[in-house]
Chain A
Amino acid sequence: MSLIANLPSVDSEMRKRTLLAIGSFLLPLLVWCLVSYVPFIWHPKVEVTDPGGVDYFQVGMLVDKSQFEDETAFTREERLTPPAGKPANPIYLPAPHEVAKAFYTGFAKQPVQKDAPWLHESLWHSIQIIFWGFLISSLIGVPLGILAGTYSTFARLSEPFIEYFRYLPAPAFGALAVAILGIYDGPKIAIIVIGTLFQQVLIIANTTRKLEATIIEAARTLGTRGVKLLTKVVVPGILPDLYRDQRILLGWAWTYLIVAELIGTSSGITFYITQQARYQHFDNVYAAIMIIGIIGFGTDLILGRLSRSLFPWDRSQDRR
């Protein structure tokens, strides 16, 4: 196919892609809306609007459908006023508009409980934990990975142990981390480092190994050797792939966040979530969970865009 014949379709192809991307978010939202707003879909509970003759019913109370039907039959037998109610979902599934409202109040209104943290305060704390955890892990893991990928002796000396260590679940080190680093942010950062670092070394070593051998050989015939081979050829050669690896690893660091924050004094977004769940503010819980996704996904989108201008020579981006 010629390039010119291709040109008009590129635009519509992009539009189609954007529409599909939006659709992929709208579909789950649609399912959520259906379950929440269409009374005959699911709705296993009944919200009591008038207790009638049932002495323990209260307005606003959620009861099982079968229980409500039993009580209605009972009142009919006893010739009491039957209770009234409307179909409802369990308390752990708030409707989309309630969660949307929680998003707003989470940032704009003082929390209902005194001394409870605001949503954005919790979030900021979590982001800091991730930042430091990922930074420390990268400062160690990236150089180690590049060294292991370049020098086979170094790889053989380090990789078997790292391979073993990466199977040890990071949360298992929680108690140890608290004993060594105290109960505040130290152990949390440590868990993220333990969870990320070992995978990081192996992944980056692999990426480094994938660099074309011809490129290194060409550099050697041009007179490059020693450290310069590493700094002038290997590092720039793998940089776009290294950047991609780091994006994926940053996502992994986020998955360790919740466990990390449960260690020592509960803090950050996890503390917010558990606290809100305890008071059955499930709309806030959903809002908090979603915001983690938004931040993670958003950072990745921005980093992805950035890589286009950072690595204009990287052709693997054209294929996406």
Chain B
Amino acid sequence: MNTTNLPSYLDQSEAVKARFDKINQRETILEVRDLGKRFRTPQGEVEALRGINFSVRRREFVCVIGPSGCGKSTLIRILAGLENHTSGDVLLDNKPVKGPGQDRGMVFQGYSLFPWLTVKQNVMFGPKIKGHGKDEAERDARTWLELVGLEKFADSYPHQLSGGMRQRVAIARALVNQPRILLMDEPFGALDAQTRSKMQSHLIDIWKNIDITVLFITHDLDEAIYLADRILVLKAHPGEVQEVIEVPVPRPRSPGQFTTPEFLATKARLEALIHPAPAPEPEDEQAAQPQMIRFTNVADNVE
């Protein structure tokens, strides 16, 4: 990529600056203070996360990005209450998080819908657990299915839906509980490129129209820039916050912005952070270097 003519990713237009000022005036929904996570493995103790600090404002869209093994999944699982942290605090509306709860909705990457329930029953699951009556739960489910455009599939089983539709159901199922924050762990990672970009636009539409704050994990740089207000860049071994980038791409976002100078500048910065100049490979990696032997006719060239 030619980065010489690009503006700095730190330059923000007036509109973008004004937007961040507005965001910063909103109340904090989620606050993470000096969060650390260590766990024991047969190979010894591993520090997955160290000294993570950040906060998310109401109706902000925050993406978390980082190389594989940087602990981004561990981070979101701690926020969801599915894992314990070993140090620091996680505060939701200034109250410490203890275990999973309906105040934090979660969308997983993998197949997480209940296969024995229809689409509608999947969405009704949360309200029913909360103790709502069947009629009320059903009414809520219908509303949210309409929002994700799946009211026609209310009585289908998850296995009858495509990957993109399943993730829509998962989003509706999380949102029906009206959580304070929606945690998304690489939710579109398993989808094909076309479906993925459709889902990204759809997610922005949902986020625009309802009172929800989103924390979104991805390893796709374009996805992060396209969706986020701010991007939390993690580094690996141990997982630490490397930089918090305020995305200078103005809103409303559209796929047309993928080639604007602000977008490319941000992407160049992310690339530099996540894929730095190649460090010398460890020895076991070198041992696995392929030795290319010619198995075809010398004259039979493909390139």
Contacts and interface: CB of A to CB of B under 8 A. Distances in A.
Q: Is the interface of B mostly helix, strand, loop or mixed?
A: loop
B302 interface: no
Contacts of B82: 217, 220-221
A215 B114 CA distance: 7
Contacts of B177: 222-223
Interface in A189-245: 212, 214-215, 217-225, 228, 232-233, 236-237, 239
Interface string B136-168: 000000000000000000000111000000000
Contacts of A217: 80, 82, 100, 106, 108, 112
B112 A222 contact: no
B189 to A, nearest CB: 13
A154 interface: no
Contact of A223 (B110, B114, B129): B129
Interface in A273-320: 311-315
Contacts of B173: 222
A220 B112 CA distance: 11
A313 B111 CA distance: 14
Interface residues of A, number: 23
A223 B102 contact: yes
A311 to B, nearest CB: 7
A228 B112 CA distance: 18
A214 B112 contact: yes
A115 B266 CA distance: 94
A311 B100 CA distance: 30
A212 B110 CA distance: 10
Nearest to A233: B114
B174 interface: yes
A228 B129 contact: yes
B111 A212 contact: yes
A230 to B, nearest CB: 13
Contacts of A312: 157
A25 to B, nearest CB: 34
Interface string B239-265: 000000000000000000000000000
A318 B138 CA distance: 30
Interface string B101-144: 11011101011111111000000011001100000000000000
Interface string B211-250: 0000000000000000000000000000000000000000
Contact of B115 (A225, A228, A232, A313): A313
Contacts of A224: 129
Contacts of A311: 116
Contact of A215 (B105, B112, B129): B112
Contacts of B170: 218
B102 A237 contact: no
Interface string B75-108: 0000011100000000000000001111011101
Contacts of A315: 115, 159
Q: Classify chain B: how many residues form its interface, as a range.
A: 20 to 34
Given A214-B111, A228-B129, A315-B159, A221 B116 contact: no
A224 to B, nearest CB: 5
B111 A222 contact: no
A219 B125 contact: yes
Given A214-B112, A236-B114, A222 B159 contact: no
Given A222-B173, A223-B130, A313-B115, A214 B159 contact: no
Contact of A221 (B105, B110, B114, B158): B105
A218 B112 contact: yes
Contacts of A223: 100-102, 126, 129-130, 177
A305 B128 CA distance: 32
Nearest to A238: B116
A314 to B, nearest CB: 8
Contacts of B104: 221
B157 A222 contact: no
B100 A220 contact: yes
Interface string A163-177: 000000000000000
A224 B174 CA distance: 13
Nearest to B157: A313
A214 B110 contact: yes
A237 B114 contact: yes
A313 B122 CA distance: 13
Interface of A: 212, 214-215, 217-225, 228, 232-233, 236-237, 239, 311-315
Shortest Cβ-Cβ A-B pairs, 9 listed: A221-B106, A218-B112, A223-B102, A220-B100, A222-B126, A313-B157, A214-B112, A236-B116, A221-B100
18 contacts: A212-B110, A215-B115, A217-B80, A217-B82, A218-B112, A218-B113, A218-B114, A219-B125, A220-B81, A220-B82, A221-B81, A222-B173, A223-B129, A225-B100, A232-B125, A313-B158, A313-B159, A315-B159
Given A212-B112, A221-B82, 6 more contacts: A218-B113, A219-B114, A221-B101, A221-B174, A222-B126, A236-B116
